[in-house]
Structure 1
Amino acid sequence: MSSTMKTCLVILFTVLIVARAFIKEVSAAGECGKTPISSAAASLSPCLSAAKNTKAAVPSTCCSKVGSLIKAAPKCLCAVLLSPLAKQAGINPGIAITIPKRCNIKNRPVGKKCGRYTVP
């Protein structure tokens, strides 16, 4: 095989890998619609203390934000919960997943899986 052919194959292979990574990145951002996941996470900042401690009171602003997000894009809430941003903020996913129940949100997706967690 000539060196030109090898070079073309290497370039083609590299382009395919980069394109696949780009497509995966774009589809992963889709859980929150047109809203970047970082913005969705920031909107849930009133929930920080409740997402770290089961004994912390859940502020009404948190419940309102969570309820709206469940109604509009429940997959977004899961994506935020499992995001590196949540981990950096010290959020415990096992505790955070209980917030919809602690807020008495009626339309929460009970029994749905979010990573290894199940919505109570």
Structure 2
Amino acid sequence: MKKICLLFILVGIVAVIGACSSEDSTDDTSVNSVDSSTDDLTDDTSDELDTDSGESDSSIYTEEELESDPKTPSSNPNDYNDDAEYVPENGVSDNPADYNANGEYKPVEDMTQEEIEKELESMIGDSINQ
């Protein structure tokens, strides 16, 4: 029964990823315009908060917090953006979606369908084993 449920979940996730990867230029421009205005508001707010608190450190994590958590891909606080997403400081990409849970650079756009399915199986397997 668990295998059947897992199979349905996996097929559903693959279907969603397949639907999301189809290109439609009209939808992309409308999403980008909304995202950019939201990002601008978020960045202004976070800058004001940093100024008010007097803290000059841009990372939201301390090195001690990262070293004590075995699930973090890096113990360097500079490897995380303002949203606490892993983005290596000197990495290939600034997009956190291009990195998997282990911190490996794996952009979905460059992956084959089989690689996507393998990655999803790995993610689901890891979450079930926890």
TM-score range, shorter chain: under 0.3
> Which has more helix, going by share of residues?
1
Question: So what's the TM-score if we normalise by structure 1?
Answer: 0.20
Question: So what's the TM-score if we normalise by structure 2?
Answer: 0.19
Larger radius of gyration: 1
Ranked by relative contact order (alpha carbons within 8 Å, sequence separation 6 or more), the top structure is: 1
